[in-house]
Structure formats: structure tokens, C-alpha cells
Amino acid sequence: MKRTLFLTLSACALALALDSGVARAQTCPSPPLTLSSCSTSNSTTLAEVSGTYVCTQVGVDNTNTVSGAVVVATFHGDGTGTGTTANNNNGAGSTFKDFSTPNALSYCVNADGTGYIFPSGGSSCPLAAVFDDKSSGVFLEGRLIDTTEGNAEAIVCNHQ
């Protein structure tokens, strides 16, 4: 039960970070997080995250708007990837927004499974990530949290 709830919360955060469709002010961490924020990221640790993950995201932003989403994220094993989101983040009218066009992302992963995901274009703050439950050299789970000031968003992902 706890794992299911956490997975649901985590996936929603990734979806919001990748493409919420809602314009909002953001304040990212200072100093800014970058790919160099992962001190032990290398080709091996990047490859350990490779593959497709389905994520559940739940969040509350600084305007007290609650959102939920399903995210499909694909990591290419080289520090790049894509993500697409279906969500219910519209505050008025229809609450469902179908899967978005895939957005580019980059990522870094330390030897201990911690790291960051960076949505492209600077439209969202980075996501802090922890990957674990490794099998055959690939992490099977990821838990992410949005670093945007004033947001409480969490995402849980499972390797497919």
C-alpha cells in the first residue's frame, strides 16, 4: 500500500516537470543544479537507468492547485531521453490532457543511484532522483521529487 501510494505521488511530479501545460512562476535551486551536480556519473551509471519507465505523479503547486499525471519516460543510457505526459492539471474546463509530444531530457546518475533529471529548454526545474532495485545491471525503480520552490510534487517510476 505504501509503495503504491509513493509510486503514484512520484509519477505525478515527473509529469508536471515534463509538461504540465500550466504556466506558473518557478524558482529553481540556487546555485543551479547541472549535469556536473552528479560527481560520480559515468557511462556505466547512465546505462543503469536505460529503458522505459512508467511513472505516477502527484503534486501541489504554490497556488494550492493539486495535480496528477501519468508519465512515460525513456532513458537512452547515454544521459539523454524523452518524456511524455497525460494529466489532469487544467484548473477549469476539461480536466484531462492527453499524452503530450515527447519532450527531451537529460540526466545524471551517481554510483549510489542518486541523481537529477533535467527537462529540456529550462521550462521546469530539475528533478532530484533516487534509482534502486537493480536487476541485470538496470535500475527497476525510480523516485523523484521536484526541486521547484513552493511545489510539493513527487513521482514514482517503474521500469517496463
The yes-or-no verdict on residue 11 having pLDDT over 60 is: no
- Average pLDDT score over residue span 82-104: 80
The yes-or-no verdict on residue 5 having pLDDT over 50 is: no
CA dihedral angle for residue 16, residue 20, residue 24, residue 29, rounded to 10 degrees = 30
8 Å CB contact between 18 and 86? no
Position 98 confidence tier, pLDDT thresholds 50, 70, 90: confident
The yes-or-no verdict on residue 125 having pLDDT over 70 is: yes
- Average pLDDT score over residue span 85-110: 82
Spatial separation of the C-alpha atoms in residues 80 and 62, rounded to whole Å: 29
User: Whole-number mean pLDDT of the chain?
Assistant: 83
8 Å CB contact between 86 and 70? yes
Q: Which residue has the higher pLDDT, 20 or 66?
A: 66
The yes-or-no verdict on residue 160 having pLDDT over 60 is: yes
Position 25 confidence tier, pLDDT thresholds 50, 70, 90: low
Q: Which residue has the higher pLDDT, 61 or 2?
A: 61
Q: Find all residues with CB under 8 Å of 69, minimum gap 6, and list them.
A: 11, 12, 14, 15, 16, 20, 56, 57, 85, 86, 87, 88, 89
pTM above 0.85, yes or no: no
Q: Does a cis peptide bond (omega within 30 degrees of 0) precede residue 126?
A: no
- Average pLDDT score over residue span 131-150: 94
Q: Could you tell me where the DSSP H helices lie in the chain? A: 2-19, 43-47
Element (H, E) at 66: strand 66-75
Q: What is the reported pLDDT for 97?
A: 81
Containing domain of residue 141, as a range? Answer: 2-159
Indicate the number of domains in the chain: 1
pLDDT tens for each residue of 66-91: 888 999 999 999 999 999 988 876 55
Spatial separation of the C-alpha atoms in residues 143 and 16, rounded to whole Å: 14
Spatial separation of the C-alpha atoms in residues 114 and 124, rounded to whole Å: 19
Instruction: Kindly report which listed range (21-25, 88-92, 154-158) carries the lowest average pLDDT score.
Output: 21-25
